[in-house]
Amino acid sequence: MTTAKSKAPLSSASAKTLTNMWCFLVVISLIVVSSDADSGSFIDDHHRHCSHRHPRAHEVVHGVHVEPAHIVKKRSINQQLRILLHYDDSVYRLDDRKFELINNTILPEAVHFWERALMVRETRGTIRLNRKCESTQVFVKDNLTHCIDTCKSETMCGEVVVPEEHLDACRICNKAGLNCRVEPGSVPGSGIDGADFVFYVSAMSTERCKKGLTVAYAAHCQQEAALDRPIAGHANLCPESISTKSQELETLLSTVKHEILHALGFSASRVPEEPRPASRLSTKRCKRTSGASRRSAR
């Protein structure tokens, strides 16, 4: 892991990428927010790992239809980001002290931090995430994504199984891209209202947790169609690494804030430099554990 400090302002190139991707209005609000952020809170201990890797192509679902692009694009960027938290069962299996710390202190503070910091174009439609397909190829018809013949029985976001009520109906076409329809018997879930982003949180002791001193990892998993912005993401908090010691609270909080940034889609391979408008933000760079070939191709 490298810990890179930089006072460089947001470069125009990275600002442009950011605008394309999220249409965030970050600068003014971050300066306000940073005044109540502990100045040391973004510099993690050197021995802590953030093992972020950019999600692989097959891990990200594109083209989630929420609202038509011509309507969304007219809205101004004047609404605070609204994040809906969804816990995997593994979070409820944490011991009581860890659950309380995560549920009552760490997640509310970390989520609220980014909700206050980031402004977006409001999502007025109901979010229903796309189902994953068995094949890597999909068809897009009437701006809706269709699987070939069948959808996967479960759609994952990171380690988390997306609940049926968050999913759209299964749409399919035949191998030739014809006879496109909703799979008979498949119904859309009730969906998510009043949020711009769904954040799935798990607390599983996975292989990745066991590598090095990984505390947590995160990435986005679905992007919506009109603005191509991430609309769902996940983080896994490695249970053994959650410390309830009060002297480690700030470190845990800054780690979770950092992971939420990855869940929102900020990643070294999407944005040349992670956003650091207030210069204190993101003083840490993540170690990349894969994606080398993609990077060398850039």
Ligand X SMILES: *[C@@H]1O[C@H](CO)[C@@H](O)[C@H](O)[C@H]1NC(C)=O
| 259 a catalytic residue | yes
Whole-number minimum distance, CB 221 to ligand X, in Å?
22
Pick the closest to residue 107 from 252, 6, 230, 241 (CA basis): 252
Q: How far apart are CA 76 and CA 74, in angstroms?
A: 6
Whole-number minimum distance, CB 231 to ligand X, in Å?
16
Largest alpha-carbon pair distance within the chain?
Answer: 60
Cβ distance to ligand X smaller for residue 66 or 281 = 66
Per the CB < 8 A criterion, the answer to whether 142 and 182 are in contact is no
Closest residue to ligand X, Cβ-based? 69
Cβ distance to ligand X smaller for residue 69 or 84 = 69
Q: Which positions lie near ligand X, rule CB under 6 A?
A: 68-69, 100, 103-104, 108, 142-143
262 marked as part of a ligand binding site: yes
Q: How far apart are CA 43 and CA 59, in angstroms?
A: 29
Whole-number minimum distance, CB 103 to ligand X, in Å?
4
Give me the catalytic one of 67, 159, 259, 274: 259
Residue 90: what are its φ and ψ, rounded to 5°? -60, -30
Cβ distance to ligand X smaller for residue 6 or 105 = 105
H-run or E-run covering 108:
helix 107-117
Q: Residue 81: CB partners within 8 Å, gap ≥ 6? A: 114, 115, 117, 118, 119, 120, 196, 197
Cβ distance to ligand X smaller for residue 116 or 285 = 116
Pick the closest to residue 269 from 245, 252, 290 (CA basis): 290
Whole-number minimum distance, CB 254 to ligand X, in Å?
20
Annotated binding site: 258, 262
Annotated binding site for Zn(2+): 258, 262
Catalytic residue numbers read 259
